Amino acid sequence: MAYFPYLPEELLNQIFSNCVSAVDEDLDPDSVRTLQAISLTSKQFHRIVEPSLYSNVLACFAGLESEYYPFWLVNGPRLQRTFAERPALSSYVKTFRAFRIRADEMRYGEEHTAKQEVYRDNETTARMGLVGSHVPRILEGMPNLERVDFRKTAILYCHGLCYWLFGSELSTGKMSNLRRLDITLKRSTLVDLLPIFQLPKLEVFVADIVYLYAPDSEDRAWFSLRTSVRELTMRTFFWDTRTINLLSAFRIVLDACPLLRAFRLSLHGNPDEEFDEEFQAGIIGLLNVQLSSGTLRHLELWSKQGLCGPYEMLNPPSLPNVWTSASLELESLKVDMSLLSQNRFNTGYPGIRASIESVVPQSVRHLTLRHAPCRESRS
């Protein structure tokens, strides 16, 4: 109400002007057309009268995966114009959520207007796998933004995502109040995610990375970084099969998250069983600080097909000593069954159960074990 001191008069005048344009001289004022005009105008002003309705802003992206420019922000100009005309509304925005439509689902005229925006962007922006210079401009004007969700828009590289979030200057101060970030990247290393983990108030980070590969070099800024991230969820479909290099990258990230309460990692590719199990056991070893301090409460290590267990392995990976420590406060655990099975040979269900129960932490209240017998069966 503070933005429109004479709102009742303005509202009535707008309704009257709409009715005049919609009603003929011979038309009954109580007709359906009149009521429709009043209803439409009331809805428009309801969004102005109730600024809290802007707490969740939807960004509409359109395009096809096969196009050189994969997608563009359809309602970018309108969002930018709305917040430019009413800057006070931007302070109410808490969530910026993207959704996606196909180019052929756009209304007539929208596609041509949106594509004009594409060609106005420079070549560097296009190579990032994204278009729409409106995105950083819009986000920059939302000082109280707490959540950004880009899961529906797969960005090609991490530096393109950082351009959206932080602008060309890559200043993380523009997102000083961001607490949750959900993203989808087509290609990335864990080291490239440094600007995201440098956000001062980030607590929840969810990342879908289509192809996760080991970095060629390490950024020294990681070694002194201590983040506020408490929940980390990552899902990848293809990854570097060099276990040592990939574990080294995860070590850098997990060392920077001492306050981690929940860690979820899903592997959706098709690794060989020994690599998968060795990698998962290695991840548990990297969580030694969070496990021994009692901060980690939820752990999920998942693979697409699951590991068959128990089966024979010449050198089965061993779990860290902290796994049976009294300081462990783990409440929920979801892993492949063979990872916890001490007996790698098929000794029958009773033997398997006893073997697993002996290594499950006593603090665990919710246990989910995955078993895929079709992958391995030995007598």
Question: Is 16 a domain residue?
Answer: no
In a domain, residue 80? The reply is: yes
Chain center to CA of 157 = 14
Position 255 scores a pLDDT of: 93
Calpha distance 281→359 (Å, rounded) = 13
**Structural domain includes residue 167:** no
CB 190 within 8 A of CB 232: no
- 44 inside domain: yes
Is residue 126 in a domain? yes
Residue 140 lies in a domain: yes
Number of domains in the chain: 1
- Whether 158 maps to a domain, the answer reads no
The string of pLDDT tens digits covering residues 322-357 is 777 767 889 998 887 766 665 444 444 455 566 666
Kindly state whether residue 54 falls inside one of the protein's structural domains: yes
pLDDT tens-digit readout, 218-234:
778 888 899 999 999 99
pLDDT, tens only, 78-125: 787 778 877 888 888 899 888 776 555 444 444 444 444 444 443 333
Enclosing domain of residue 124: 40-148
